[in-house]
Chain A
């Protein structure tokens, strides 16, 4: 009896380790326990439990087909929204001025005329793996999260970089548009270049550039310096 159960579980494990959808069978309680433990161990391989971009694209496409494709956003401004907007705009001005000052003294603007990029350098940050290099082919951007920081990692074909995945306007999560090599905000039609610079906005005040996040590749894993 144990041998048969062990054989079935071994076959299940083989399927998982080869990245296959496991064959279905009637499992005893003991077998199901072993199988869920096996699933947890497979998830423990670094990067294994992160979806690849193609999977996210498929899920998004099927949801789009089934759900309303023109989401209704309540644009009536509440008092709180206005206060938040004004506060964010004021903060953006102060931060923008200060960084401009720093840039003019320490880091000349690049050839495209932009200022020094803002870098998110957290206190007590550590390098954390967020994806396997193989999950991010050239020409793609992928949203990742470390729990406290949402980012987008980008492979432009020459380099891997990372920027904040949160729109600097009101905090909506950015969606990669690989064809346009940009990141779109779903809330107010703002677009950012992969470098983090604002490409397009329909707001009274230009939103800030996306902060850069330090990134490196180690042991075939993309790692971010975050908390």
Chain B
């Protein structure tokens, strides 16, 4: 580097920021996959709660999208299409496996901006905030079950109720949580 010592010190290195989604394009399916697979998986996981279904559904979303999409295509178009496909795939999942038409309809209203990979801590913050809004006995049963990993029996012992009561309490607490989620986070 002889002869270049007079150059001014450059600014900080270019940040590792993804391409501008308003103007950039995905050239091929690999780039769509790389950019979105984690976001889709998270989107699905938050609505099915288990890795096996999340993996299958994330793959189905990508497969359906990539088989019909003509590339190269603008990033924002591809992402909008991925979210639309994710809504349909998840709604079908709930209809097919649980005959849950209403839950399916809710999923079809998923916002278009939902496909953004987020730090895993964000789901934890959201869960903590939601638990904080619940009445004490509802919060207690859900904390014991979901945060501390207690079985129904252990939670019932801890709370001094029967197992049957603990199951009913858990059911009601989850319904209340669902209701609050609609009100607070919608």
Binding site for B on A (CB under 8 A): 2-3, 5-7, 9-10, 13-17, 19-22, 24-27, 29-52, 55-56, 58-60, 62-63, 66-68, 71-74, 91, 94-95, 97-102, 118, 120-122, 128-131, 143-151, 164-166, 168, 171-175, 186-187, 208, 211, 213
Contacts and interface: CB of A to CB of B under 8 A. Distances in A.
Contact of A40 (B39, B59, B126): B126
Contacts of A36: 47, 103, 106, 178
Nearest to B128: A44
Contacts of A174: 34
A147 B8 CA distance: 32
B98 A37 contact: no
A6 B118 CA distance: 32
Contacts of A10: 152, 167, 170-171
13 contacts: A3-B164, A22-B49, A29-B103, A30-B175, A36-B178, A37-B174, A49-B120, A50-B41, A51-B38, A62-B63, A120-B16, A150-B18, A172-B34
Interface in B1-48: 1, 4-5, 7-10, 12-19, 24, 27-31, 33-35, 37-39, 41-42, 45-48
Contact of A13 (B27, B41, B145): B145
Closest 4 CB pairs of A and B: A44-B127, A39-B49, A71-B28, A164-B16
Given A35-B49, A62-B63, 8 more contacts: A5-B171, A37-B174, A40-B46, A40-B130, A42-B50, A44-B124, A48-B45, A63-B66
A145 B5 contact: no
Contact of A15 (B5, B50, B174): B50
Q: Which of A7, A19, A32 has the most CB of B within 10 A?
A: A32
A59 B127 contact: no
A39 B90 CA distance: 13
B123 A25 contact: no
A168 B15 CA distance: 10
A101 B9 contact: yes
Contacts of B112: none
A68 to B, nearest CB: 7
Contact of B120 (A35, A66, A129): A129
B55 interface: yes
